[in-house]
Structures are given as structure tokens and as C-alpha cells.
Copies of this chain bind each other. A is one copy, B any other.
Amino acid sequence: MRTNTRYTEAIQILCYIAIKQSNLPTSDKIAKSINTNAVVVRRIFKMLKDAELINIKRGYGGCSLKKETNEITLLDVYKAVETAENRQIFKFHEGLSASCVIGSKIEEILKEPFQEAQIALEEKLNNVTLENVIFNIEKQIIS
């Protein structure tokens, strides 16, 4: 399990903005809603803004989606907040290849299946849009 919760928080932030519980979503309101601190939200804001998923205004405040909910997939959000290089899921030990014939080859050999696995995972994330998620939220709220 990843040690960070940014991804799920980012999804929730986007849902909050899309559903517009408040007509002026601010980092403070969102923070209260997702049970964290406003600065944490702003840090995620920055990542989502850099990924061109949201617009943010200073001063009067308020943020909005930069795309339609059906144009934002869970993969887009993942790409926005995942900091690991190339979003690699598995990590190699430093100096692995230094002292051993096996070690010197294994990283290169494992790269291919690891890459394939990552692509398979990301394709699934790409199949789900923010619209899908919000539809399910609203369905649950109504029922």
C-alpha cells in the first residue's frame, strides 16, 4: 500500500468541486470536508493545477474544474499526484547491481514485466471518469 493518501484525497477534492457543495469551494471548506488541513488541500490544489485539471483564483478565491467531468479519468488524477518517477510501483534497492552477477542483470530483466503490470493497472484507472464516480455518489445519496 502506498504510504500516501494524496490520490484518494485528490479524487475527493475534485468531486467536491464538481458537485459544488458550496458555491465557492475554498481550501478551508474542502479541508474541513475531507477532515484535513487547508494547507494539505492547497498542496494538492497545486498538483491538480499543474496537471491542468482545475483553475484556482486567489483573493476572492474559489476553484473550478478546467475540464468536463467525463474528460477527467482516475488515471489523470493519478498522474497528477503521483510523484514517483514514471509512477513506477516497484522500487529497486540502491547499489543492487554493484556486487553480483545476478543483481547486475535483474533490474533490467524485471523492468519489462513491471512495466506491463503498471500499464495494465493504469488502463483500468483510465476507464473510470470523474463523471462515473459522481454519478455513483449521487445515486447513493438519493437512495
Binding site for B on A (CB under 8 A): 1-5, 7-9, 11-12, 15-16, 19, 21, 32-36, 74, 84-85, 87-96, 98-103, 105-110, 113, 116-118, 120-125, 127-128, 133, 136-137, 140-141
Contacts and interface: CB of A to CB of B under 8 A. Distances in A.
Nearest to A88: B1
B19 A93 contact: no
Q: At the interface, is chain A mostly helix, strand, loop or mixed?
A: helix
A107 to B, nearest CB: 8
26 contacts: A1-B85, A1-B91, A2-B90, A2-B91, A5-B92, A7-B90, A8-B93, A11-B110, A12-B102, A19-B102, A21-B102, A33-B102, A33-B103, A34-B99, A34-B103, A35-B95, A35-B96, A36-B93, A105-B137, A106-B137, A109-B137, A116-B124, A117-B121, A117-B125, A120-B123, A121-B121
Given A21-B102, A99-B33, A102-B15, A8 B120 contact: no
